[in-house]
Structure 1
Amino acid sequence: MSIRKYSLLLAAFVFSLGLATATEAQDMKTKPSLDARQQSIVTIAAFTAGGDIERLKPALNEGLDAGLTINEVKEVLVQMYAYAGFPRSLNGMAAFMGVVDERKAKGIRDAEGKGADPIPSGFNRDEYGAAVRARLAGLDKDISGTAWQVFSPVMDTFLKEHLFADIFVRDVISHEDRELATIAALANMSGTAGQLKFHFGAAMNTGLTKAQMHNFIDVLASRVGKAEAESAQAVLSEVLAERK
Structure 2
Amino acid sequence: MKKHRKTFAILTALFSLPATSFATDTKPVTEPKAQGVIQMELSQRQSSLVQLSALTAKGDIPALKIAIEQALDQGLNLNEIKDLMVQLYTYTGFPRSLNALNALAETLQARQAKGVPTEIGPEPDRGNSNVDMLAQGTRTQTALIGQKVDLSALSADIDRYLKSHLFGDIFASDLLSWQEREIITVAALSAMQGVDSQLQAHLNISKKNGISDEQLKEIIRMAKPEMSQFPAGEENIAYAQYFVGKSYLNMLSTDQLAVGNVTFEPGTRNNWHIHHASKGGGQLLLVTAGRGYYQEWGKPAQELKAGDIVHIPAGTKHWHGAAPTEWFQHLAIEVPGENTRNQWLEPVADEDYAELK
Specify if TM > 0.5: yes
Q: Confirm or deny: 8 A CA contact 1:43 1:224 kept in the other structure.
A: no
Specify the alignment match of 1:201 in structure 2.
Answer: 204
Calculate percent identity across the aligned residue pairs: 33
**Offset at residue 162 of structure 1 (A):** 0.8
Higher strand share: 2
Specify the alignment match of 1:162 in structure 2.
Answer: 165
Q: CA RMSD in A?
A: 3.2
Which is greater in Rg? Answer: 2
The one of 217, 225, 243 aligned to 2:220: 217
State how 1:11-50 maps to structure 2 within 5 Å: 11-12=29-30, 27=37, 31-50=39-58
SS of 1:168's equivalent in the other structure is helix
State how 1:31-180 maps to structure 2 within 5 Å: 31-134=39-142, 136=144, 139-144=145-150, 149-180=152-183
Deviations 1:27-76 (A, max 9, x none): 3xx52121111111111111111111121111111111221000001111
Specify the alignment match of 2:192 in structure 1.
Answer: 189
Partners of 1:75 and 1:166 lie apart in 2 by 12
Where in structure 1 are there 5+ consecutive unaligned residues? 14-19
SS of 1:111's equivalent in the other structure is coil
Q: Confirm or deny: 8 A CA contact 2:25 2:136 kept in the other structure.
A: no
Q: TM-score scaled to structure 1, two decimals?
A: 0.75
Larger relative contact order (Cα-Cα within 8 Å, sequence gap ≥ 6):
1
Q: Confirm or deny: 8 A CA contact 2:49 2:184 kept in the other structure.
A: yes
Where in structure 2 are there 5+ consecutive unaligned residues? 1-21, 233-262, 267-289, 291-321, 327-349
Q: Structure 1 pair 91/121, CA: closer, same or farther in 2 (3 Å)? A: closer
Q: Confirm or deny: 8 A CA contact 2:188 2:223 kept in the other structure.
A: no
Partners of 1:165 and 1:70 lie apart in 2 by 23
Q: Which one-letter code corresponds to 2:39 in the other structure?
A: K
Partners of 2:176 and 2:121 lie apart in 1 by 10
Specify the alignment match of 2:269 in structure 1.
Answer: none
Q: Structure 1 pair 202/165, CA: closer, same or farther in 2 (3 Å)? A: farther
Q: TM-score scaled to structure 2, two decimals?
A: 0.53
Deviations 1:186-205 (A, max 9, x none): 11122111211222222233
- How many residue pairs get aligned? The number is 218
Q: Which one-letter code corresponds to 2:219 in the other structure?
A: F
Q: Confirm or deny: 8 A CA contact 1:187 1:228 kept in the other structure.
A: no
The one of 24, 30, 45 aligned to 1:6: 24
